[in-house]
């Protein structure tokens, strides 16, 4: 071997693949990942806490105001002597809203709790979809590493063939150099993908509320891609199940109750009190008082409140229409993306991969017999590498699009009518 070839071979041999800092040979199961996300994700936990807080509001806003205890002293002599005051009055009073106001306030708070509950569902769906996509990003990187490692082994074998042919003078030195260059390229790709695995692992760990460098197993292969469902059925399910729509429906109901409450505010509130009179020069006694508010005195204030409530209802209904339009868009976009990825995946499996493998076998046999040059052999290796990489990308794209589709529908979607 010439000095230049020996130098290049040594350089390739010294090229090391940077190992992943946090990988393990254990299998990483998607269902277990999703269960952990639902249990430990801080966004989901915060949303659950907000639901708990919202559910504590109805009991507060529907309750009576606290009763008041007061003391009055009338006509006390100077110097100040409470025991010589003509009247010492101990009074207990209670404000009583017009019937129906408290219950409507409680009902509005219940609608707020429903909105918080649906928001918690929305946050959970977002986290599950994000974790699923991060899972398949990690799976794709692991598959890329396997592809590049396999092709590296393949090129190493071709490089030995080139060296043997060069030793007996049947090929020129450039064939050996090209083999070493291609081998270096593949080693670099393995290194790059190994680093990409660390980034994908950190993204998934973040959703699991783990440390960035905490080890994760190797993701399992996805099930066979399939999408045997009708778009119209998915849209109907989404309009029935999406938490965003249910939250907007609760918002409309809340504002409608708010309008009823605004109209009730035209009616007076009451305050009743009872007192005990302790007198200095007269017999002790008791007293009672009833007070009534006069909303008509500032009717314009309540007119404005009714106008505000009507505007809020209109805004809530328009928000509901906006959400409906967005749901249809989300479902259609996710469905088309999944269908596109599925068609690409099927095309690779049925056509591109078999053709590329057949071409590689033919080119390899041709090179060994001297009928094909080394550049053609390298082109075949790169072609099958590209086909395998694109196939993995299509498979991952389908799984991620399917996760988006389930998020758009608001729940699990069967891949076919029988599954």
Helices (H) and strands (E) in the chain, counts: 11, 6
The pLDDT tens digits along the chain (419 residues) read 444 444 344 444 444 444 444 455 689 999 999 999 999 999 999 999 999 999 999 999 999 999 999 998 888 887 778 777 888 899 999 999 999 999 999 999 999 999 999 999 999 999 999 999 999 999 999 999 998 888 888 878 877 877 777 777 766 677 677 778 878 888 888 888 888 889 999 999 999 998 888 888 899 999 989 988 999 999 999 999 999 999 999 999 999 999 999 999 999 999 999 999 988 888 889 999 999 999 989 999 999 999 999 999 999 999 999 999 999 999 999 999 999 999 999 998 888 888 888 888 888 788 777 777 777 778 888 888 888 999 999 999 999 999 999 999 999 998 765 44
Q: What is the CA radius of gyration of the chain?
A: 38
CA–CA separation, 306 vs 243, rounded Å? 29
Which domains does the chain carry? 3-67+100-267+298-409 (1.20.1600.10)
Q: Give me the phi and psi of 242, to 5 degrees please.
A: -60, 130
Classify strands 23-28 and 216-219 as parallel, antiparallel or unpaired: parallel
The neighbour count for residue 111, using CB atoms within 10 Å, is: 22
Tokens of 262: 């605004």
Largest CA distance in the chain: 136
Give CA–CA dist 393/335, Å, rounded.
Answer: 17
Cα–Cα separations (whole angstroms), residue 141 to 138, 147, 184? 5, 10, 19
Calpha distance 197→207 (Å, rounded): 16
At residue 70, φ and ψ (nearest 5 deg) are: -135, 160
DSSP H helical ranges for 41-172: 42-55, 57-61, 101-167
DSSP 295: G
pLDDT score for 179: 75
Length of the chain: 419
């Amino acid at each position: 071997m010439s000095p230049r070839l020996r130098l290049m071979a040594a350089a390739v041999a010294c090229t090391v693949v940077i190992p992943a800092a946090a990988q393990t040979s254990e299998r990483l199961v998607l269902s277990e990942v999703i269960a952990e996300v639902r249990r430990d994700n801080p966004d989901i936990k915060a949303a659950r806490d907000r639901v708990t807080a919202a559910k504590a509001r109805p009991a507060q806003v529907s309750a009576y105001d606290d009763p008041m205890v007061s003391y009055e002293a009338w006509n006390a002599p100077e110097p100040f002597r409470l025991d010589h005051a003509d009247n010492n009055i101990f009074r207990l009073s209670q404000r009583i809203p017009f019937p129906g106001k408290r219950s409507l306030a409680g009902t509005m708070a219940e609608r707020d709790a429903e909105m918080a509950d649906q928001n918690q569902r929305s946050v959970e769906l977002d986290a599950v979809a994000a974790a699923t996509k991060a899972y398949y990003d990690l799976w794709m990187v692991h598959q890329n590493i396997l592809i590049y490692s396999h092709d590296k082994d393949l090129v190493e074998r071709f490089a030995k063939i080139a060296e043997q042919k060069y030793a007996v003078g049947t090929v020129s030195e450039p064939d050996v150099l090209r083999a070493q260059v291609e081998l270096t390229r593949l080693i670099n790709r393995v290194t790059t993908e190994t680093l990409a695995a660390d980034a994908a692992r950190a993204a998934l760990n973040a959703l699991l509320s783990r440390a960035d460098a905490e080890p994760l197993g190797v993701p399992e292969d996805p099930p066979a891609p399939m999408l045997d469902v009708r778009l119209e059925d998915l849209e109907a399910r989404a309009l029935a199940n999406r938490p965003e729509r249910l939250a907007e429906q609760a918002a409309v109901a809340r504002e409608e109750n708010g309008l009823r409450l605004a109209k009730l505010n035209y009616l007076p509130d009451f305050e009743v009190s009872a007192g005990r009179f302790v007198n200095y020069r007269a017999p002790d006694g008791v007293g009672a008082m009833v007070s009534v508010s006069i909303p008509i005195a500032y009717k314009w204030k309540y007119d404005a409140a009714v106008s505000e409530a009507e505007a809020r209802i209109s805004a809530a209904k328009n928000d509901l229409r906006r959400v409906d339009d967005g749901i249809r868009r989300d479902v259609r976009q996710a469905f088309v993306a999944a269908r596109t990825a599925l068609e690409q995946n099927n095309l690779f499996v049925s056509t591109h991969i078999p053709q590329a493998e057949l071409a590689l076998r033919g080119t390899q046999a041709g090179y060994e017999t001297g009928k094909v040059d080394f550049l053609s052999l390298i082109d075949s290796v790169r072609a099958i590498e590209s086909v395998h990489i694109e196939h993995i990308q299509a498979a991952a794209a389908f799984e991620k699009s399917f996760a988006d589709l389930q998020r758009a529908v608001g729940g699990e979607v069967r891949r076919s009518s029988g599954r």
